[in-house]
Amino acid sequence: QQQVKQSPQSLIVQKGGISIINCAYENTAFDYFPWYQQFPGKGPALLIAIRPDVSEKKEGRFTISFNKSAKQFSLHIMDSQPGDSATYFCAASIDNTDKLIFGTGTRLQVFP
């Protein structure tokens, strides 16, 4: 049973556009929702994270939107750049250091 569902599997965006990746979760005990960015040949790196007590968190061009009632959260990348081309993973855990369950990933390609 997949606890964190991520879509789309791949995304192509033009430079300057907005990239949107969506995730849905099932376990209402989850209370920590990070996003990770992974470049080819590298390990994932923490990008931004949110807790369910806020509906939005912004760091630079990256924003997480969180909808607790719908059990959904999404990553928005504003003014997407070719350097943002990577695979993005959403994840969830019951606390910030408990078992971290990942989505299946979204491969983002940003074309100039």
Partner 1 sequence: NAGVTQTPKFQVLKTGQSMTLQCAQDMNHEYMSWYRQDPGMGLRLIHYSVGAGITDQGEVPNGYNVSRSTTEDFPLRLLSAAPSQTSVYFCASSSSTGPYGYTFGSGTRLTVV
Binding site for partner 1 (CB under 8 A): 6, 9, 32, 34, 36, 41-46, 49, 89, 96-97, 99-105
Minimum Å distance from CB 52 to partner 1?
A: 15
The residue (of 55 and 96) whose beta carbon lies closer to partner 1 is 96
Q: Kindly list the distances between the CA atom of residue 74 and the CA atoms of 40, 42, 64, 105, in Å, as whole numbers in the listed order.
A: 22, 23, 6, 13
Minimum Å distance from CB 77 to partner 1?
A: 19
Compute φ and ψ for 84, nearest 5 degrees. -85, -10
Question: Which bin fits 97, alpha (ψ -120 to 50), beta or left (φ > 0)?
Answer: alpha
Q: Minimal CA–CA distance to 72: which of 94, 98, 88, 52?
A: 52
- d(C-alpha 98, C-alpha 92), whole Å: 9
The residue (of 20 and 32) whose beta carbon lies closer to partner 1 is 32
Minimum Å distance from CB 61 to partner 1?
A: 19
Minimum Å distance from CB 92 to partner 1?
A: 12
The residue (of 77 and 90) whose beta carbon lies closer to partner 1 is 90
The residue (of 17 and 49) whose beta carbon lies closer to partner 1 is 49
